[in-house]
Structure 1
């Protein structure tokens, strides 16, 4: 009888701790991988998320950093490149994998399925952008993270996704959005059709005002100047994108200046900035290390 009472008491204690701290009771520091059912993409089905939990991170008050891979779709590699940053600042690192099978080509990843192949706008419920929020929530369930908020860093194609995520959804849960050396940009204007501008998408002037006032960083490698780089520009938009510049560094500055002018025209505070990394080309690790010292410094 006494033994049964002791076992019952232990179970009650464990359940009580689990209720208080969530799955944090069971999760361990270090690298891990999870999957969840994601409805968006060419087919419904599982989506993989790579995680790194620092020793110092705690579910009840720990911060979350989401990093997005480039066109290589190497979520594990981008997680590994950012691991030291996560350890330094105590971020739970979340790296969703937008696989080429589930999210093929620029339409489903870079452009977030904002339009179909014929450039017909897709309803927000079909956008890929919301897969990001669902990936964060899957990571929160796996780790017991209390906070719904996060910082977002997208590299290359991930940087294209990140700035369009801000422009089309408003990024309401992101304290900061960073686009690291994307190939090209969607301008925050309504008089040019998506993906060159926001025309045709359900983005109001009020939403554009809010996006221009949201903390956002264009992070550029100063040596990212290869004019023969593959920017992933759809063939139908090449002539309209050409004025942005001949390489990633120039295009980042063009986007910044065009967006600043739009903020001035709308009469709203412009919260965006450009941060450049000396001696860094189109390298995820180099940008990550620079971002740790500049963009993400508390």
Structure 2
């Protein structure tokens, strides 16, 4: 894909710092914004993708990661997958990867490629964090594209997909190849550093125990009642498949994605620093 290069120097100003939202050239219904440190000199800076949840707070997450980006020489990418695509009442489209002909995993990969054409990032592998609905997307994306991830941070998903070929998607992975045209490469998944993160007070259940709604499948209740219990179930499932997990419980925090970000920053920061020390 050939991207238009904005005229310098006026447009170039908006390609550093907190950028505007851009329409994806892959699908202009989908958007993204970035934070690019103004003093960035690295020609292949680490790319940190933060996937919003149901409320679509993409810019808020991006802004909260500015200090991290500055201190680690990283670029932050925040996709925006709007609610109401096709169905005006829909809230959950991206969480389950495919929706009404839209493949949100492929959309994210296309956005990463677009960003790499205009910004000095390393596009081959990126760091992915998502909280709540974003945590749902993050671990399902891991199953399909482990080769593109430098690390993944799975924050407080209300509904989980276990590596279990006896259960249908999205409770399990029985029909992944038929749905997505990709097999799960378990060896590749095992190579991705995984963090699971949740607040110690994340115990409200009204949103995640809702039989009959569009984001419910019977059997979800068997994975636990709270987000903490469900994330522990996912942890046990990962460990049983030989996947190492860093499980972080943030004291005194309820279902607040912004308040777990410092723990995510520590996890990603340590990995970025270690990678840089190896390549020097």
Interval of TM-score (by shorter of Structure 1 and Structure 2):
0.7 to 0.9
- The residue aligned with 2:105 is 129
Pairing partner for 1:195 from 162, 166, 170: 170
Let me know the Cα RMSD of the aligned residues.
2.9
Q: For residue 165 of structure 1, what is the aligned residue in structure 2? A: 141
| Cα pair distance change 1:81/1:213, threshold 3 Å | same
Whole-angstrom CA distance in 2 between matches of 1:51 and 1:93: 5
Gap regions ≥5 residues in structure 1: 1-17, 40-44, 117-121, 264-268
Higher mean Cα deviation, 83-92 or 241-250? 83-92
Which digits, 9 at most, give the CA deviation of each residue in 1:39-64, with x for residues without a partner?
4xxxxx34221111113423513111
- For residue 260 of structure 2, give the secondary structure of its aligned residue in structure 1: helix
- TM-score w.r.t. length of structure 2: 0.80
1:52-105 Cα offsets, whole Å, 9 max, x none, are 111342351311111011101121122122222222322101001011133763
Task: Tell me, yes or no, if the aligned pair for 1:66 and 1:150 is still in contact at 8 Å.
Answer: yes
Alignment of 1:8-19 (within 5 A): none
In the superposition, the TM-score normalised over structure 1's length comes to 0.76
Whether the 8 Å CA contact 1:184–1:233 is kept in 2: the answer is no
Counterpart for residue 93 of structure 2: 108
**Mapping for residues 1-298 of structure 1, pairs under 5 Å:** 26=12, 28-33=15-20, 34-39=22-27, 45-102=28-85, 105=90, 108-113=93-98, 127-167=103-143, 169-202=144-177, 207-230=185-208, 235=213, 237-261=216-240, 263=241, 269-297=242-270, 298=273
Report how many residues are paired: 256
Q: Alignment partner of 1:296: what SS?
A: helix
For the pair shown, which has the larger CA radius of gyration, 1 or 2?
A: 1
CA distance in 2, matches of 1:26, 1:231: 47
